[in-house]
Amino acid sequence: MGEEFYSIIKLVSGEEIFSLISIEDEEDPTIILQNPVIMKLIHHKSGIHVKIKQWIDLSDEDIFIIKSDKIITMTESNDEKLIGIYNDFVEESGDENIDLENTDSFHTKPSTKMGYISSVEKARKDLEDIFNREIQENQSPE
């Protein structure tokens, strides 16, 4: 196996992949991808966030091979933050078997920090009170 390095790869399909790669056979290069992911930058008022997901969602494999004719360009990445995000994602996804029937662990419970400030019953009562006040104000003679 050739020397391993982190790389950003742009494929002819338009996909951009981040992966730990090695290159085999200099004459007819074959690129070996280890745990390839797709990363997208999301600009938000709280800052820039990185959304990361597996390149091929339903595969159990973590090594893929691409021929060089499927690549537009590639560049080595030494960005420590990007590499850290990638390594954290790879470690977390690991070899876990995900139970698709029991996905409670994937859901985030709302909190007051997220904007959750009331129960449905309290919100319904508050809205009914506002509605009733508006009706009374519009029906009262001036």
CA–CA separation, 33 and 94 (whole Å): 16
pLDDT at 123: 85
- Identify the residue whose tokens are 């590499």: 83
CA–CA separation, 119 and 112 (whole Å): 11
Single pTM value for the model: 0.61
Per-residue tokens: 127: 């809205």
According to DSSP, the residues that pair with 50 across neighbouring strands are 41
DSSP 83: H
Per-residue pLDDT of the chain (142 residues; tens, 9 = 90+): 578 999 999 999 999 999 999 988 777 788 999 999 998 888 888 888 888 999 998 888 899 999 889 999 999 999 888 898 899 888 887 645 444 455 455 566 666 666 666 778 888 898 999 989 888 888 766 5
Contact between residue 32 and residue 22 where contact means Cβ atoms under 8 Å apart: yes
Contact between residue 17 and residue 87 where contact means Cβ atoms under 8 Å apart: no
Q: Where do the domains of the chain lie?
A: 4-96
4-96 classified as CATH 2.30.30.100 = yes
